Amino acid sequence: MIPRRGVLGGAVLAALGIATGGDAAEPPLATATGGQPPPERAAELIADALVQLRKELQTERQFTELEAIREVQKQFLRANAKFPDFIEVGTDLWFAVHDWHVRWQQPLTLGRDGLGRYTILLNATTVIMRTDSAGNYLGQAYDNK
């Protein structure tokens, strides 16, 4: 049977190796006598790893890949009291919206507009891919009228 402290300690130390990048150029943390890192340094590493983990968990549900498009939607919403019907974006932003749908298992509503451009529905707004623009292009929001 594996002791609980051994399992938890091993997981924390493994996470520390991942969190610090496991750079071989860093000097070893072990002391010359015991082969273990000094307790103060080990506590700092654990605290840093926990802070980094907390940040990752917080940003996971902030949908940062949609942030630029949502800002345009919010501006339009404040000005017109409704979501825009269309937003034209470059390929990078369009695929970010597509990947967001896949990652969060949201239904994909894909299509093509009258000019043959690819579209995807996001929060009642049709996001149109502009292949002739830069990948991070973000156009103005507009209505069907």
Residue 29 located in a structural domain: no
Q: Are residues 68 and 112 in the same domain?
A: yes
Total count of domains within the chain: 2
pTM of the model: 0.61
Q: Can you give the residue range of the structural domain that contains 50?
A: 4-21+35-60
Q: What confidence tens digit (pLDDT) does each residue in 11-28 have? A: 555 555 554 455 445 455
Averaged over 137-142, what is the pLDDT?
95
pLDDT at 69 over 50: yes
| Average confidence (pLDDT) over 51-73 | 85
Task: Give the SS3 label for residue 125.
Answer: strand
pLDDT surpassing 70 at residue 138: yes
49-57: long-range contacts (C-beta < 8 A, 24 or more apart)? 49/12, 49/15, 49/16, 49/19, 49/20, 52/19, 53/15, 53/19
Contact 73, 121 (CB under 8 A): no
Query: Does residue 89 sit in the same domain as residue 134?
Result: yes
Confidence of residue 9 (pLDDT cuts 50, 70, 90): low
DSSP state of 35: S
Query: Looking at the structure, do residues 88 and 46 belong to the same domain, yes or no?
Result: no
Give whole-number Cα distances, 17 to 21, 50, 69, in Å: 6, 13, 36
